[in-house]
Amino acid sequence: MAGSTLGDLFTITTWGESHGAAIGVVIDGCPAGLSLDETDIQIFLDRRKPGQSRFTTARKEADQARILSGVFEGKTTGTPISIMIENTDHHSADYSAIKDVYRPGHADYTFDAKYGFRDYRGGGRSSGRETIGRVAAGSVAAKILKELGISVHAYTRSIGKIVIPESEYHYSEIEENKLYMPNNEYAQKASAYLDECIHSQDSSGGTIECIVTGMPAGIGEPVFHKLDAALAGAIMSVGAVKGVEIGDGFLASLSKGSKNNDPFYMNGTTIEKASNHSGGILGGMSDGSKIVIRAAIKPTPSISQGQETVKKSDTSSLENTTISIKGRHDPVIVPRAVVVIEAMTAVTILDLIMHNMTSRMDSLIKFYQC
Amino acid sequence: MAGSTLGDLFTITTWGESHGAAIGVVIDGCPAGLSLDETDIQIFLDRRKPGQSRFTTARKEADQARILSGVFEGKTTGTPISIMIENTDHHSADYSAIKDVYRPGHADYTFDAKYGFRDYRGGGRSSGRETIGRVAAGSVAAKILKELGISVHAYTRSIGKIVIPESEYHYSEIEENKLYMPNNEYAQKASAYLDECIHSQDSSGGTIECIVTGMPAGIGEPVFHKLDAALAGAIMSVGAVKGVEIGDGFLASLSKGSKNNDPFYMNGTTIEKASNHSGGILGGMSDGSKIVIRAAIKPTPSISQGQETVKKSDTSSLENTTISIKGRHDPVIVPRAVVVIEAMTAVTILDLIMHNMTSRMDSLIKFYQC
Amino acid sequence: MAGSTLGDLFTITTWGESHGAAIGVVIDGCPAGLSLDETDIQIFLDRRKPGQSRFTTARKEADQARILSGVFEGKTTGTPISIMIENTDHHSADYSAIKDVYRPGHADYTFDAKYGFRDYRGGGRSSGRETIGRVAAGSVAAKILKELGISVHAYTRSIGKIVIPESEYHYSEIEENKLYMPNNEYAQKASAYLDECIHSQDSSGGTIECIVTGMPAGIGEPVFHKLDAALAGAIMSVGAVKGVEIGDGFLASLSKGSKNNDPFYMNGTTIEKASNHSGGILGGMSDGSKIVIRAAIKPTPSISQGQETVKKSDTSSLENTTISIKGRHDPVIVPRAVVVIEAMTAVTILDLIMHNMTSRMDSLIKFYQC
Amino acid sequence: MAGSTLGDLFTITTWGESHGAAIGVVIDGCPAGLSLDETDIQIFLDRRKPGQSRFTTARKEADQARILSGVFEGKTTGTPISIMIENTDHHSADYSAIKDVYRPGHADYTFDAKYGFRDYRGGGRSSGRETIGRVAAGSVAAKILKELGISVHAYTRSIGKIVIPESEYHYSEIEENKLYMPNNEYAQKASAYLDECIHSQDSSGGTIECIVTGMPAGIGEPVFHKLDAALAGAIMSVGAVKGVEIGDGFLASLSKGSKNNDPFYMNGTTIEKASNHSGGILGGMSDGSKIVIRAAIKPTPSISQGQETVKKSDTSSLENTTISIKGRHDPVIVPRAVVVIEAMTAVTILDLIMHNMTSRMDSLIKFYQC
């Protein structure tokens, strides 16, 4: 499978570069009969929009989603949904400074190594704008999941060393601060830290947490398409992610079985777990508890302080140089990536939710007898 | 794609349960002309064999690999390589204790939730024995990579809180201790800790690190099939893995751009990086540096101390109960999982190495002009 | 895989309905470095354009291809190529006559059966306009193949009972008649026959033949992804196709081994076949001879004479009715489908050409040593 | 996807060569809870067994199917079903006559062209024995379909010029003659013709027809994974098939719309078609009528009369030669291929039946509310 398609049944194919004519996604396999209009998508896109706070880029893209196919009289038809977002702000800036220079921490060198050259304008295909198609697709997946009683929510867990302990999560505060943190006080501390970063021409990393509630048990395909494997692959495919954890994640490596195992017990007639170290996944399938995923986001690689690197000289030979990346850059990627992680989670879960429908003979018999 | 197949060009399909007749893998897409015999596979299988130290189960499986197809006169033919390992030790033990009980930390409940029932003998498909097929496939992938100058090596980085700092790695010691740790002293400390775990009827987690050297730059497909995304998905699909990191991983979330960015520089005529926080991957493609991956392994869920859980009573209704899992169980999964992580890494990298061959027009033209 | 994506390495995903805002295709996996502009695509699209003769619909679509991504400074970049064609002629006609009626020979009923409702405007997704995305993708594939020395050519072999015998093919005449027949005299006879069809408010079927020259031997993957299997699947996926043949096809069923086997012989230092009953494919792989494929196209289902069928009444119950399909309809699909068959052939062959590059160890070693 | 795997949800991966240790298939994605034992598979395998009449090879393979995984206490568990058939009759014959010679009509040359060498023993992977895995998988698919009320039946429609007209089909006679023809008289004529072929050291082609009854309407995915496209691809992937038709097939190319369109009408409260020129498929989806597929089978390429061809001399250069293929060979492939076509049809239809379950939002909602 070529690299821009994800999923087996709910399939998304993204396309577009930062400074091309447009950017978009084709969703194939969306069930027929879902109410859908451009507003559903726009709400998600607006969450990753730049220019929302002093920590995100000033580029004022409208980022208006347009549905070009697959919806008729307000309902999905079962055929591919093509969503396009025009790149309205792609005035040809002066790229001479980065055209021949490999920016540290960016994909400039690896793109050249693979393809022999690259669209250097704004990072081309490796730009953060590539996530627009993912988020548009995620908005559709999330809407379907919602109809099935499943909710997906992501938020900023930490920025640099400012980490919110789980005991201090106040989910209602997520939308109250520009960093999407579930604690306004920590958000203020993080803001102060980011101001420092800006001042020192530097940037910060952070972590995003995503939770899924309402998941039925048994979702995920044993062995290679486990729920956690699919989530890890989908989330690690987001540009700046360098680590993924489920439940206790790396802490589980320090733990003991007696503590890490979650006891089952009966809550009335329902089986539940007394703890959730597993993060809602056992043996690669959902166990009925809340699913908990964490992603580590690296610091924004574009910083304005000088960095040593390599450039192609006119004669195509390589030579050492120094680069200072001009222009306004987010000192942190995390807040804008929150909705991207949520989107990837929604898309992944929906695909496995659909896959699961064929797991049992009695389901097939019931389906075709109706 | 059903859940037991991985890869697009170098494709592996595993099958088999812990206590079925046999377990195996079909490798499809292996290039023709590779020298291969059963010894190549056996060397890898022996590394995950139980009964090698006092920390691994005593079950004495021969685990003898048999090649049933795809090799002719000592060379792969390009057709599917079917490898089978008979389950010689599957005397029907008494499973009445676990037949109806959901062992905490295991996939018993989720299998039932998905399929309505399960093969309860020794964990069935969710047994650690499922990894035999992966390891057999990994041995073939590793052999191909070796011919391309690429080496994959995994080892135990930590057991519980015994973590070897990178500065104290002595790779030559990996094979000198039963825990596959690159430092014999730490291995001794870890052994002492595991003895404690056994004594307290408990188990420990740990981490595995895997490094890849000799990787050309540019391997990995942008967007969803990034090298790190593919690795994360493949490694998270191993039973007990709860987290995956590339390079600095979660530490990158605490870092700053000025430190996390790896400067490029010219080493003679070769472009290199002055540091490797990226773990050898930028923008989802290999950057020519050593690839570094870490996996978090949870503590063995099977422990002999009593645990609260739920069982199905005769009337099929659920009720609370307590379980003590009898028999000898590894107090730690990590040492036996080392070769599994190595195998998943090899298989994943090879698939993308093959995919990369079609990235450029000039490669196609050259290939078909020869 | 959802239904609108085809291919493993050179992947195409089409989208769009006849009367939606636009129609298009995303090509993923196109090698980097191919010269490409909108003219390359337009030449192909113009060959399927309506309004070219009195036997094709009068709808005057501009059908102007726009490349939205994946091309930079005139070269493909290796990233997805998104091509969009706006539907400029989709003035809302009056669809009340067909909205609730199942047109015989069309997909109206089956779409309703599958999805519960359908976009009835102009056939929606099952319209012939769906092939625009295929043709756009085919133009790119054909351009790549041309650089590899491989040519794909399709033409009309028969219309109704007017069948051109192979001995009377004059390839140079294909472009000289509106029916794309390799014999102008037969084209004239066919035209007379089509005039009759129009007069009697009826339509005709026909066959298309496609030949591929310059194919290296050994292309195609044994067993399920054989070259002929892939071609048959791709070509049968074109709306009105009801049969596919390779080489002698159904005639081979009447033949004997002594005649049907093609003898090999040495032509200088080159191995060749003395005949080509196989149509250039043996054991699912190209044998170095010209590849010959034929597709049977059914008569245009839209005819203006009255037909018995079923409609949904206001109360949603079904009742018998009669329908006369108004408007100008092509009395034959064949001439406009010629370029579609050519496109599907090009796309399919390219995918397997790329796949073949990983067939041998020595190819991998050579590739990564360069 | 590598070449030996077929299907998206019900996935089959075959492996094995004619004269290797064994041959087999891994079925992944089989729903849990199906009663299955080796007898179910054996019944199908016995239908393709050699040595059943004087027109099939005398090789007495036991061809005993063994289920190695995926079945527990008589039921499928939802995990991969591995089926193995040992090659008991692979005594090393003397292959020196064909080792270096390219048999006309066989895959010898194309295998060498692709892979550089081949397993020449009995045709290796391109042997008819490769279909054993397909038939084993087909037996499982057919059993599932039967539980859904869907039946698949194939039979010999013609051998050479002996074609049974549809009006003379007597389905009950299929099992009464060794040629699996639905008319014993025609079978007798065909036998006489085959005796002639044997006498003249020659072989014959023929056609197989396969019908599917009980199909619900709406099965098949529009555009590339149409039901007819999937069937055409699957059936053309069988070794000797050179053509595939649906419904009227190539005859539709000679027809007119007024005749070829099947009128819909109400039969009580059920919508039906007054004719079935479509062969049960409209717009790539089942239309509720009987599905009708035909495959053209070429004459057995192995004939004992002398044929001109090319051999590799000791110095690896090629030279002209003559070959007479010794040993007993079926004068016709058709009767043994009947069950193979049936198997491919069953496997293909089941995959799309499963895919169809996710077509509508209301199906998802209903499924997850139960």
Tokens of D320: 């002209």
Q: What is the DSSP letter of C298?
A: P
> Which C positions 97-136 lie with beta carbon below 8 A of chain A?
114-119, 124-125
Measured at the CA of C21, the angle between CA C18 and CA C23, to 5 degrees, comes to 55
Per-residue tokens: A239: 């540009």
For the record, the structure tokens of A148 come out as: 């099935």
Q: Searching chain D, which residue's CA lies closest to the CA of residue B6?
A: D1
The nearest alpha carbon in chain D to C297 belongs to D253
Phi-psi region of D122 (alpha: psi -120 to 50; beta: other; left: phi over 0): left
The answer to whether residue B370 neighbours chain A at the CB level (below 8 Å) is no
Q: What is the mean pLDDT of each run of 10 residues along chain A (370 residues)?
A: 91 96 97 98 89 60 89 97 88 75 96 94 90 98 98 98 97 95 98 96 98 98 97 97 98 98 96 98 98 98 94 85 86 96 98 98 91
More confident residue, D34 or A317: D34
C43: closest CA of chain D, how far (Å) = 23
pLDDT in tens, B27-70: 999 999 999 999 999 999 999 876 566 666 655 557 899 999 99
How do the residues of chain D divide into helix, strand and coil, expressed in percent and rounded to 5? 35, 25, 40
User: D328 pLDDT band (50/70/90 cuts)?
Assistant: confident
- pLDDT of amino acid C54: 64
Question: Which ranges of chain D does DSSP label H, i.e. alpha helix?
Answer: 38-47, 96-99, 108-115, 131-147, 184-199, 227-236, 257-260, 334-355, 361-369
Q: Is B72 within 8 Å of D1 when comparing Cβ atoms?
A: no
Residues from chain A that touch B257, judged by Cβ atoms under 8 A, are 105, 202-204, 299-303
Question: Under a CB-based contact definition with an 8 Å cutoff, are residues A321 and A101 in contact?
Answer: yes
Considering only CA atoms, give the Rg of chain A: 22
CA A215/CA B213 separation, integer angstroms: 41
- Six-digit token string for C202: 């009826």
CA distance, residue B283 to nearest chain A CA (Å): 5
Q: Note whether C144 contacts B: Cβ–Cβ < 8 A.
A: yes
Quote the CA–CA distance of C205 and D286 in Å, as a whole number. Answer: 21
The answer to whether the CB atoms of C283 and D111 lie below 8 A apart is yes
- D264 SS3 class: strand
Cα–Cα dist C333/C194, whole Å? 11
> CA-CA distances (angstroms) from residue B367 to A127, C370, D257, D359?
32, 12, 48, 42
Among candidates D78, D148, D359 on the partner chain, residue whose Cβ is nearest the Cβ of A364: D148
Q: What is the pTM of this model?
A: 0.97
- Tokens found for residue C267: 């032509």
HSE, side-chain direction, 13 A CA sphere, residue A191 = 13
User: Which partners does chain C have (≥3 C-beta pairs < 8 Å)?
Assistant: A, B, D
Contact D362 A33 (CB under 8 A): yes
Q: Is C299 helix (H, G, I), strand (E, B) or coil?
A: coil
Nearest to D8 by CA among D359, D364, D354: D354
Q: Which among C34, C38, C69, C126 is the top mutation candidate for probing chain A, defined by the most A β-carbons within 10 Å of its own β-carbon? A: C69
pLDDT of residue D59: 52
Chain C residue with the nearest C-alpha to that of B223: C79
Which of D38, D72, D75 to probe by mutation at the B interface, max B CB count within 10 Å? D72
d(C-alpha A109, C-alpha B270), whole Å: 13
Q: What is the pLDDT of residue C2?
A: 75
Interface test with C, best of A9, A11, A15, A370 (most C CBs within 10 A): A15
- Which of D149, D357, D361 lies nearest to residue A367, judging by beta carbons? D357
The DSSP code for C204 is B
User: From CA D237, how far away is CA D7, in angstroms rounded?
Assistant: 13
Please answer yes or no on whether C33 and B362 come within 8 Å at the CB atom.
yes
DSSP state of A72: E
Residue B366, chain A, CB below 8 Å: the answer is no
Q: Measure the CA–CA gap between B248 and A295, rounded to whole angstroms.
A: 13
Q: Find out whether B107 and A282 touch, Cβ atoms under 8 Å.
A: yes
Beta-sheet pairing, B81-86 with B151-159: unpaired
Go through D70-92 and write b for each residue having 16 or more CB atoms within 10 A of its CB, e for each that does not.
Answer: bbbeebbbbbbbbbbbbbebbee
pLDDT at A152: 98
- D32: closest CA of chain A, how far (Å): 5
Residue D149's pLDDT band (boundaries 50, 70, 90)?
very high
- Residue-wise pLDDT for D228-275, tens only, equals 999 999 999 999 999 999 999 999 999 999 999 999 999 999 999 999
Please give the Cα distance from A135 to A338 (Å, whole number): 10
Contacting residues of B for A130, CB less than 8 Å apart: 223
For an interface test with D, the pick among B25, B68, B127 (most D C-beta atoms closer than 10 Å) comes out as B68
Measure C100 CA to nearest chain D CA, in Å. Answer: 13
Between CA C68 and CA D220 the distance in angstroms is 31
- What pLDDT shows up at residue C49? 76
Closest CA to D83 of D3, D6, D16, D8: D16
pLDDT of D370 higher than 60: no
CA distance A275 to chain B (A): 11
Asked whether the beta carbons of C151 and C214 are under 8 A apart, the reply is yes
Does A28 reach chain C within 8 Å, measured CB to CB? yes
Q: Does C283 touch chain B (CB under 8 A)?
A: no
Crossing angle for the helix pair A131-147 and A38-48, to the nearest 10 degrees? 130
Q: Nearest C-alpha of chain D: how many angstroms from C37?
A: 26
C205 in helix, strand or coil? coil
Ramachandran area for residue C354 (φ above 0: left; ψ -120 to 50: alpha; else beta): alpha
Q: Is the CB of B258 less than 8 angstroms away from the CB of A202?
A: yes
> How far is it, in rounded angstroms, from Cα A74 to Cα A82?
15
**320-359 of B, contacting C, C-beta below 8 A:** 353-355, 357-359
8 Å CB contact between B282 and A105: yes
Contacting residues of D for B115, CB less than 8 Å apart: 32-33, 77-78
Is D81 in the B-facing interface, judged by CB distances under 8 Å? yes
Residue in chain A closest to C25 (alpha carbons) equals A26
**B34, B144, B364: residue with CB nearest C31:** B364
| D218 and chain A in contact, CB less than 8 A | no
Between the alpha carbon of residue D352 and those of residues A358, D215, D219, D237, the distances in Å are 11, 11, 6, 18
Question: For each of chain B's 370 residues, which pLDDT tens digit applies?
Answer: 679 999 999 999 999 999 999 999 999 999 999 999 999 999 999 998 765 666 666 555 578 999 999 999 999 999 999 999 999 865 666 777 788 999 999 999 999 999 999 999 888 999 999 999 999 999 999 999 999 999 999 999 999 999 999 999 999 999 999 999 999 999 999 999 999 999 999 999 999 999 999 999 999 999 999 999 999 999 999 999 999 999 999 999 999 999 999 999 999 999 999 999 999 999 999 999 999 999 999 999 999 999 999 998 877 789 999 999 887 788 999 999 999 999 999 999 999 999 999 999 999 999 998 5
Best mutation target, A35, A354, A361, to test chain D (most D CBs within 10 A): A361
**pLDDT given at position D49:** 76
Contact D250, C242 (CB under 8 A): yes
Are the beta carbons of A359 and D78 separated by less than 8 Å? yes
pLDDT (average), residues C89-97: 68
Dihedral angle, C-alpha D58, D62, D63, D65, nearest 10 °: 170
Helix axes A227-236, A334-355, angle to 10 degrees: 150
User: By the 8 A CB rule, do D322 and D307 touch?
Assistant: yes
Q: Determine contact: A289 vs chain B, CB below 8 A.
A: no
Task: Give contacts of C310 with chain D, Cβ < 8 Å.
Answer: 264-266, 271
Residue B189 · residue B162 · CB < 8 Å: yes
**Residue C56: per-residue pLDDT:** 63
Enumerate helices (H) and strands (E) in chain C, giving the number of each: 9, 18
- Nearest by CB to C360, from B32, B353, B368: name it: B32
Lowest mean pLDDT among B257-271, C224-238, D139-153, D309-323: D309-323
**Tokens 């080496």 sit at which residue?**
B151
Q: Which residues contact D292 (CB under 8 A, 6 or more apart)?
A: D209, D210, D211, D246, D247, D276, D279, D280
The whole-angstrom separation of Cα B258 and Cα B275 is 12
What are the pLDDT digits (tens) for D122-146? 889 999 999 999 999 999 999 999 9
Residues in B closer than 8 angstroms to A202, CB to CB, are 256-258
Q: How high is the pLDDT of residue B193?
A: 98
Show Cβ contacts of residue A153 under 8 Å, excluding neighbours closer than 6 positions.
A171, A174, A210, A211, A212, A213, A342
Residue D336: φ, ψ to 5°:
-75, -20
Q: Is B216 touching C (CB cutoff 8 A)? A: yes
Half-sphere exposure of A251 (CA within 13 A, CB side): 10
More confident residue, D93 or C64: C64
C-chain residues within 8 Å CB-CB of A80? Answer: 2, 4, 13-16
Mean pLDDT (whole number) for D15-44: 97
Give the tokens for residue A327: 């222009």
- Contact of B5 with chain A, judged by CB distance below 8 Å, is answered with yes
Contact D34 A9 (CB under 8 A): no
The reply to whether residue C236 touches residue D229, judged by beta carbons under 8 angstroms, is yes
Name the amino acid, one letter, at C253: S
**Closest residue to C257, CB basis, from D113, D265, D301:** D301
pLDDT at C60: 56
**Between B and D, how many CB-CB pairs are < 8 A?**
162
- Check pLDDT > 80 for residue C202: yes
Q: What is the 3-state secondary structure (H, E, C) of chain B?
A: CCCCEECCCCEEEEEECCCCCEEEEEEECCCECCECCHHHHHHHHHHHCCCCCCCCCCCCCCCCEEECCCEECCEECCCCEEEEEECCCCCCCCCHHHHCECCCCCCHHHHHHHHCCCCCHHHHHHCHHHHHHHHHHHHHHHHHHHHCCCEEEEEEEEECCEECCHHHCCHHHHHHCCCCCCCHHHHHHHHHHHHHHHHCCCCECEEEEEEEECCCCCCCCCHHHCHHHHHHHHHHCCCCEEEEEECCHHHHHHCEHHHHCCCEEEECCEEEECCCCCCCEECCEECCCCEEEEEEECCCCCCCCCEEEEEECCCCCEEEEEECCCCCCCCECHHHHHHHHHHHHHHHHHHHHHHHHHCEHHHHHHHHHC
Distance (Å) from the alpha carbon of D94 to chain C's nearest alpha carbon: 23
| pLDDT greater than 80 at residue C90 | no
The CB-side HSE value for D201 (13 A sphere, CA atoms) comes to 9
